[in-house]
Amino acid sequence: MITINAARLLGLEQYALDVGGPATLVLFDAVSGADAVARLSPAVTGWKNGRQTFLRPASLRATTPKSRWSAGIAALGVWRSA
């Protein structure tokens, strides 16, 4: 969802997630695209042309206080213990 819309905004219509196509994407630690943007979710892994370019371990993704917010209860303002 995010990959396709971002490509369209840049006028890159040839980008899509298709069988046999080059896998160029970034996977975020979020429950939805809106959640990824609202929480500035950390990137988990990235792929360019079918090759993994990075993988961020969970221990490095949990370095900010915001990452302690549970996606399901963040709107209620309930803090999750580390």
Domain-wise residue ranges, the chain: 2-76
For position 77, what pLDDT does the model report? 42
For position 54, what pLDDT does the model report? 92
Among candidates 18, 19, 68, which has minimal Cα distance to 42? 68
Q: How many CB atoms lie within 10 A of CB 36?
A: 20
Q: What is the pLDDT along the chain (82 residues), one digit of tens a residue?
A: 455 677 777 787 776 667 777 777 888 888 887 888 888 888 889 988 888 999 988 766 654 445 444 444 444 444 444 4
Going from the C-alpha of 42 to that of each of 21, 35, 80, the distances in angstroms are 25, 11, 17
Kindly report the pTM of this predicted structure.
0.54
Q: Are 42 and 27 in contact (CB under 8 A)?
A: no
